[in-house]
Amino acid sequence: MGKSVRELEVEDLVNAGLTVAEANEVHRVLRDILSQCLSPTDPSFIWRRLLAHKLLKPSFPHSFHHLLYHSVYHSAFHSQHASLPLYWFPSLYVFLCLSLLTTAILTHLLSLSICQSPLTSPFHFREHSKRTNLGRFMETHAPQLLGLSYKDPITSFPLFQKFSLYWSLVLKELSVTFVEPPKCILDTSDPSRHGGTWLPGSVLNIADCCVQPSSHPYKPDDSLAIVWRDEGFDDSEVNRITLKQLRQQVMLVANAIDTRFSKGDAIAIDMQMTVNAVIIYLAIVLAGCVVVSIADSFAPKEIATRLRVSKAKGIFTQDFISRGGRKFPLYSRVIEAAACKAIVLPVIGDDLGVQLREWEPKAIPWTQLSPIRSAADGWAFVDIQPEDVYCWPTNLGWVMGPTLIYSCFLSGATLALYHGSPLGHGFGKFVQNMNPPLLLHTLIVAMMLYSASKEFDTLPKDHHSTAIFQDAGVTILGTVPSLVKTWKNTHCMEGLDWTKIKTFCSTGETSNVDDDLWLSSRSCYKPIIECCGGTELASSYIMGCPLQPQAFGAFSTASMTTGLVILDENGVPYPEDVACVGEVGLFPIYMGATDRLLNADNDEVYFKGMPMYKGKVLRRHGDIIKRTAGGHFIVQGRADDTMNLGGIKTSSVEIERVCDRADECILETAAVSVAPAHGGPEQLVIFVVLKKGYNSNAETLKRKFAKAIQSNLNPLFKVSLVKIVPDFPRTASNKLLRRVLRDQMKQTAKDTYKSEVLDSLRYSCQHQIVTAAGKKDKIYPKQ
């Protein structure tokens, strides 16, 4: 069952990995905190006090963080009706977690009385929530929109989230310039268009908006546009390119494209997410062509399908993919896929001079609206600002690739790219903050904050135009859950300083609470903004928000102006304030959502069969989500991942969460249900990937899974089969393909059933022959 925080002793802390000295000090501070909470206290209050006392240091082992988190929220983990454990809280104030070096320097300066602080804490900023993009935006516009009901960004956000006037105002916050301004923001006069027509009559080129300088957001020509490093050069300074240099490169390639293609032509790109790939991507759009993004992991058949559906006239690619010290052929796969113009770049080198060669699945088109929507959500919820450095290991063939590009360049942030595998120490070092000029800048900022005569608003902004970067100094790091799991389990990020990271992001699959605990602890418990959406929405429909408390693996709000309902089994929406589980239905008025597909009927896919709500047909998304008593959302899987066990509906994700914690040997699990080939109730099958170096067997795990499921979910759920496999099938964006596992089991069940039937028939025939022979002997005795 584990101990509650009040039951912890020094020995428990030592067993969790602390030294005796560290354990004694932590225990002393912990006793002091608990002594101030004599009566039953909200555990989140204790957790916040632990954070305020900086008791949860990034350098402490994960086992210690795990112990404190689970002991503080002991009651929540042992009650089915408790609220989600919260780990991060918005505030009008924020505490700065400085690197050890900066902290030591400041401490020394304070001891010499070089700087004085009138504040109770030497690491104290003022009015944090109002300094976020969304908080500042609300302070400016919410008093007019909400009137006297407006209090502050934290209190009033739920009301402000629903205001449709948001889009006319937020366009001014992004680097978006119209050649022809829109006649209006939204035209709903055409009843055949469920989502209306957004920005009708407007003309713009979004790639041009990306590469042009702007005063708001502050994006001058000499600002740093991209920093990058090649794998294997981890001790070298990062490479960098300014906005002006980026614009020159993009225009050079766009001019070359214009000489060989016609405006409106579809041009594919199948490359790693490198500087060259970003330049080419923007150049295709700037030239007035349609870019077709293809994941670099696809087989020739998958590449061919995308080229055929998009009717691509050409493709940019590279000779090899370099990752993890190995080379993987790419150009040969492209040659096998289709016959069109191919522009081939070498994997090594930064020269964009190319050679032109001739050689003989839902397809979702993005419009100019799509980048605006994706960048606006990043601006609001990820809080991307001009001084940020944003890194997300991804690919242009996945929605996060284009989203990352537009989010950076339309918000004025610096894009950080690592040319190689993100699974090792080299990537972590690239991310970390080890830039002497920036440490000095941080020190100057902190000293100015200490001085009572200085105001926060007058601090100089650092756009990294002159600093020499040893490492990237990433401030926003995007991930997928399986990547975080690898980092945690391989200990490859030990010894690195990630404290400059202000925000993490996560998408692609359901997050694991313990993995997220490890990730957040690396940066003094900064928030992990969970994002759930899709290419067809150009955004996330539910997200975490910097103005709301966050829980690991959960979403705190619908995105700006997004409306949604959760439907019961009969398609009837649950009341908004009721805890429930069901399929999500989105309001059809959704800025940026696609209204056509290249190879399918948009209405058939997203609207047919959906119920009406308030006079409008809801938009289908396909997720099963849970709304908790506290108002958070948890994704329970796709509608086709729902299973019926013993007459009770549940989700794969819910079962996997329980099974992942059943034994320390488990890396991850995948739960599917399979109906027997001969009919009957669905049977639960659990696939397991073991941690490296661990051993177990299916029968042992089956007993442990059964016990965990019956204790934590439902005693009626029975585990029929456990299969240990080396890995799981995944999409190019790393989403788990439970459908493939389910199909494998269905085929196995059919084969087994056929074998059983044949065996049964064979036995039956043999039995009949023997019986008949016996009867014959009796009727016709041998002579």
Listed ranges 257-261, 346-350, 673-677, 774-778; the one with the highest mean pLDDT: 257-261
Task: Band the pLDDT of 80: cuts 50, 70, 90.
Answer: low
Query: What is the mean predicted confidence (pLDDT) over 240-255?
Result: 97
Q: What is the pTM of this model?
A: 0.80
Distance spanning both ends of the chain, measured CA to CA = 79
Question: What tokens appear for 730 in the block?
Answer: 């995944």
DSSP conformation letters of 157-198: HHHHTT-TTHHHHHGGGTT---SB--S-SEE---TT-TT-EE
Task: Band the pLDDT of 468: cuts 50, 70, 90.
Answer: low
Beta bridge partners of 531: 543
- What pLDDT score was predicted for residue 291? 94
Task: Band the pLDDT of 42: cuts 50, 70, 90.
Answer: confident
- Rounded CA separation 471/427 (Å): 10
Residue 742 pLDDT more than 60? yes
- Rounded CA separation 410/173 (Å): 9
What three-state secondary structure class fits 469? Answer: coil
Half-sphere exposure of 493 (CA within 13 A, CB side): 26
90: left (phi over 0), alpha (psi -120 to 50) or beta: beta
Query: For the ranges 88-92, 254-258, 483-487, which has the lowest average pLDDT?
Result: 88-92
In degrees rounded to 5, what are phi and psi of residue 676? -55, 145
- What pLDDT score was predicted for residue 385? 97
- The residue behind tokens 């929109």 is 145
Residue 97 near residue 56 (C-beta atoms within 8 A): no
Residue 23 near residue 10 (C-beta atoms within 8 A): yes
- Rounded CA separation 505/374 (Å): 14
Residue 276 pLDDT more than 90? yes
Residue 227 pLDDT more than 50? yes
Cβ neighbour number for residue 302 with a 10 Å cutoff: 17
Residue type present at position 221: D
The DSSP call for residue 512 is P
Task: Band the pLDDT of 414: cuts 50, 70, 90.
Answer: very high
- What pLDDT score was predicted for residue 398? 87
Query: What is the mean predicted confidence (pLDDT) over 405-417?
Result: 97
Model pLDDT for residues 579-596, shown as the tens digit of each residue: 999 999 999 999 999 998
- What pLDDT score was predicted for residue 423? 92
Model pLDDT for residues 137-177, shown as the tens digit of each residue: 999 999 999 999 999 999 999 999 998 889 999 999 999 99
- The residue behind tokens 């794998």 is 231
Spatial CA neighbour of 491 closest among 63, 10, 51, 21: 63
Whole-angstrom CA distances from 390 to 210, 418, 494, 498 are: 15, 11, 21, 13
Query: What is the mean predicted confidence (pLDDT) over 373-382?
Result: 97
Residue 286 pLDDT more than 70? yes
Listed ranges 87-101, 313-327, 618-632, 635-649; the one with the highest mean pLDDT: 618-632
Question: What tokens appear for 131 in the block?
Answer: 């300094």
Query: For the ranges 18-22, 95-99, 489-493, which has the lowest average pLDDT?
Result: 95-99
Residue 765 pLDDT more than 90? no
Reply yes or no: is the peptide bond before residue 58 cis, omega within 30 of 0: no
Domains in the chain with CATH codes = 5-82 (no CATH), 646-743 (3.30.300.30)
- Rounded CA separation 177/226 (Å): 22
Q: What is the CA radius of gyration of the chain?
A: 29
Spatial CA neighbour of 379 closest among 503, 286, 525, 279: 503
- Rounded CA separation 475/498 (Å): 9
Listed ranges 376-380, 646-650, 654-658; the one with the highest mean pLDDT: 376-380
Q: Give the angle 425-271-471 at the CA atoms, nearest 5°.
A: 30
Spatial CA neighbour of 513 closest among 540, 533, 484: 484
Beta bridge partners of 131: none
Query: For the ranges 110-119, 391-400, 595-604, which has the lowest average pLDDT?
Result: 110-119
Query: What is the mean predicted confidence (pLDDT) over 208-237?
Result: 95
- What pLDDT score was predicted for residue 360? 30
Task: Band the pLDDT of 634: cuts 50, 70, 90.
Answer: very high
Whole-angstrom CA distances from 398 to 134, 269, 293, 567, 726 are: 27, 12, 8, 29, 25
Task: Band the pLDDT of 343: cuts 50, 70, 90.
Answer: confident
- The residue behind tokens 């002159």 is 466
- Rounded CA separation 160/150 (Å): 9
DSSP conformation letters of 319-386: SEEEETTEEEE-HHHHHHH--SEEEEE-SS------EEE----------THHHHHHHHHIIIII---T
Q: Positive or negative, the Cα torsion across 307, 310, 314, 317?
A: negative
Task: Band the pLDDT of 752: cuts 50, 70, 90.
Answer: low
Whole-angstrom CA distances from 69 to 135, 525, 528, 576, 601 are: 29, 11, 16, 30, 48
Model pLDDT for residues 442-453, shown as the tens digit of each residue: 444 444 444 433
- Rounded CA separation 690/489 (Å): 11
Query: What is the mean predicted confidence (pLDDT) over 45-70?
Result: 94
Residue type present at position 279: I
- What pLDDT score was predicted for residue 412? 97
For residue 115, the Cα-to-chain-centroid distance in whole angstroms is 41
The percent of residues in the chain predicted with pLDDT above 90, rounded, is 60
- Rounded CA separation 331/316 (Å): 10
Query: What is the mean predicted confidence (pLDDT) over 123-127?
Result: 41
In degrees rounded to 5, what are phi and psi of residue 547? -105, 10
Residue type present at position 660: D
Model pLDDT for residues 423-438, shown as the tens digit of each residue: 999 999 999 976 544 4
Residue 446 near residue 106 (C-beta atoms within 8 A): yes
β 683-690/666-674 pair status: antiparallel
- The residue behind tokens 């105002």 is 169
Residue 659 near residue 647 (C-beta atoms within 8 A): no
758 vs 424, which has greater pLDDT?
424
- What pLDDT score was predicted for residue 743? 83
DSSP conformation letters of 558-599: EPTT--EEEE-TTSPBPPTTS-EEEEEEE-S--TT--S--SS
Return mean pLDDT, the chain. Answer: 84
